Homo-oligomer: A and B are copies of this chain.
Amino acid sequence: MSAIEESILQMGRQARVAAYRLAQLSSEEKNAILRAMASSIRANAAALMQANDKDLAAGVEKGLSAAMLDRLRLDEARIEAMAAGIDQVATLPDPVGQVMDAWERPSGIRIEQVRVPIGTIGIIYESRPNVTADAAALCFKTGNATILRGGSEAIHSNRAIAAALASAGAPEHAIQLIPFTDRESVAALAQMDKWLDLIIPRGGKGLIETVVSLARMPVIKHYDGICHLFVDQAANLDMAVKLTVDAKTQKCGVCNALETLLVHEAVAAKFLPMVAAALSAKHVELRGCEKTCAIISDCIPATEEDWDTEYLDLILSIKVVSSIDEAIDHINTHGSHHTDTIVTEDQATAERFLRSVDSACVFHNVSNRFADGGEFGFGAEIGISTDKLHARGPMGLEELTTYKYLIRGQGQVRK
């Protein structure tokens, strides 16, 4: 076993011990520690910025893009936002201990299904250092021990943040940062299913693919957000324009942004010029199917690849479909099962779409951008799962818990 593997196994064993201590803390105790973490982040702002400067300097040397450097940067406002985020987590209701269900059986035993922490969670992420604080706070709130493995570009910042969090009175090893940033540490983490109950990778597709192929424990992941909006023949076309523009342009680099617009052929001749004008005003590049390009002039012919692409940019693919069935089929085939919308005034058509689209979030007359923990009222969000098991769609605190069954009896036997 290599030194890195040995070191990560040791962190795993420590995390398990910490998890059992965390499971015993009351909500009040956890919230007090969270507030202390927020204070510690604020008190250590200067040290955080100093550490961040080292990362930025190394980033410039490495030739990171301006966008990458911006994601990496910590300033006073961002550090305050990080601390305020932790304070906010402290105010949220604690799902741990909640009785989800309870019933009595003819045998006289009483069964309770109670929410408990998952145990130990590994978070693997890339450049943004605020993930260190966000993920640690959410996992801590739900009584889970966390092992964090950030990217190499942010290593100094991440270490400083983890040190600030660790000095706030949490049980020892409740929050651990892996000091290595090579691939071997990801592999070691992904293999130790005895000590780690769950891995959440947050980052690009390459990282997620690596984790999925290596992991022996459950992985909750967010792959693409190839989101659709279907304009039905019975749509209010003004509303359809408004929703399309919002879903595509309100923020285009996020997973719930619109990537493909599907238009019923019965309204295409009228709707496409309307929406093209509105999108042109927002500088959106349009890539259309043959029928689309025949109707609107300022349109690049789409290739097959476009239907499977998450642009995360001011680009929109457009396809004219002959029926709701073709729309549903296109979404289920080319989408990423994230968030898809129908615009229609016909209730029966809407219900059919809601029932048939196999996505975490299916919307009727609402912008795709509402697929968000905040908009759902979750208070905090660890991510949006495109998986189907355990957590699907926006993940709040509840999704960081599991349950156990407690049974109380009076000496019942099977025989």
Closest to A120 in B: B388
Number of interface residues of A (CB under 8 A): 67
Closest to A352 in B: B24
Q: How many copies does the complex hold?
A: 2
Chain B positions within 8 Å of A409 at CB level: 363-366, 370
Chain B positions within 8 Å of A107 at CB level: 370, 375
Q: How far is the CB of A232 from chain B (nearest CB, A)?
A: 14
B interface footprint on A144-187 (CB within 8 Å = 1, 0 otherwise): 00000000000000000000000000000000000000000000
**Does residue A4 face the partner (Cβ distance < 8 Å to B)?**
no
CB of A360 within 8 A of CB of B404, answer: yes
CB of A411 within 8 A of CB of B243, answer: yes
**Does residue A62 face the partner (Cβ distance < 8 Å to B)?**
no
Chain B positions within 8 Å of A364 at CB level: 406-409
Name the one of B20, B213, B218 contacting A356, with C-beta atoms under 8 angstroms. Answer: B20
Whole-angstrom CA separation of A193 from B406 in the bound complex? 34
CB of B198 within 8 A of CB of A389, answer: yes
CB of A218 within 8 A of CB of B389, answer: yes
B interface footprint on A352-371 (CB within 8 Å = 1, 0 otherwise): 00111011111111110111
CB of B250 within 8 A of CB of A405, answer: no
Q: How far is the CB of A15 from chain B (nearest CB, A)?
A: 13
CB of B118 within 8 A of CB of A389, answer: yes
Which residues in chain A, 199-248, are within 8 Å of chain B measured between CB atoms? 212-213, 216, 218, 220, 236, 239, 242-243, 246
B interface footprint on A368-412 (CB within 8 Å = 1, 0 otherwise): 011100011100000000011110111000000011111111111
CB of B198 within 8 A of CB of A413, answer: no
Whole-angstrom CA separation of A17 from B321 in the bound complex? 20
CB of B362 within 8 A of CB of A404, answer: yes
Name the one of B212, B393, B408 contacting A404, with C-beta atoms under 8 angstroms. Answer: B393
CB of B413 within 8 A of CB of A365, answer: no
Whole-angstrom CA separation of A357 from B250 in the bound complex? 48
Name the one of B193, B361, B402 contacting A407, with C-beta atoms under 8 angstroms. Answer: B361
CB of B404 within 8 A of CB of A105, answer: no
Identify the 9 closest CB pairs spanning chains A and B, nearest first.
Answer: A366-B409, A246-B413, A390-B390, A239-B411, A389-B390, A369-B414, A218-B389, A388-B402, A363-B407
Residues in A lying within 8 Å of B, measured CB to CB? 20, 23-24, 103, 105, 107, 109, 111, 118-119, 193, 197-198, 212-213, 216, 218, 220, 236, 239, 242-243, 246, 250-251, 332, 350, 354-356, 358-367, 369-371, 375-377, 387-390, 392-394, 402-415
Q: A218-B218, A394-B405 are in contact. List 8 more A-B contacts (CB 8 A).
A: A118-B388, A193-B212, A197-B388, A250-B413, A361-B405, A363-B406, A363-B408, A376-B405
